[in-house]
Amino acid sequence: MKDSALSVANYFVEKSLSGAKDLKPLKLMKLVYIAHGYMLALYDESALNPRFDRVEAWKYGPVIPSVYHSFKIYGNQPITKKTEIFSGETKSEGIITIQMSTPELEDEKARKACDFVWKNYYHYTDSELVDLLHKPGSPWALVYEEGKNNEIPDIVTRVYYRKIVDKLLQKDC
């Protein structure tokens, strides 16, 4: 299965559960988007699956609807398990059996980008991440219109995160 926003989200959920760190849906949505930005900037690739995933500018920042809908059941509570998706069904003797699978992050570059994001952004609170992603000139700020869920094009995200990567590289020099 191709990586998707849900495989990125599950990777972060796994990190939170294995490290006994709380991860709530709002923070998860922001971390997935930030990882998407770094993937675009560093590798000119997306860990998202364009068939299922798109990034939208919602009131509280960039949101990938598949991540939102998969984890909204937790509300403002910590996420306790990875999400699963429908992967097919079988029919035997008139009984339909539904198969579910857990999206897992397979791509090594995506894992590295997610590890970087976890290390450098997990310590932010949910509201600090919202503020960070609402900065003037951010992809969200460029496309957000109240009451609309406008798509945030990958090119806008790539350019924005490329500037962040360039600044980080200048600091290291």
**What does the pLDDT read at residue 61?**
95
Neighbours of 37 (CB within 10 A): 29
Q: Identify which of 4, 114, 10, 102 has the alpha carbon closest to the alpha carbon of residue 51.
A: 4
Specify the pLDDT at position 1. 53
Q: Specify the number of domains making up the chain.
A: 1
| pLDDT above 90: percentage of residues in the chain | 81
Across the chain, what does the average pLDDT equal?
94
Give every CB contact of residue 156 below 8 A, 6+ residues apart in sequence: 139, 142, 143
Q: pLDDT digit string (tens) for 125-134?
A: 999 999 999 9
- According to DSSP, residue 80 is labeled -
Residue 166 per-residue DSSP state: H
With the C-alpha atoms ordered 66, 146, 24, 73, is the resulting torsion angle positive or negative? negative
**What residue numbers bound the domain in which 106 lies?**
5-172
- At 54-106, the pLDDT tens digits run 999 999 999 999 999 999 999 999 999 999 998 888 888 888 888 889 999 99
Could you count the other beta carbons within 10 Å of the beta carbon of residue 17?
16
β-strands 56-58, 61-63 pairing: antiparallel
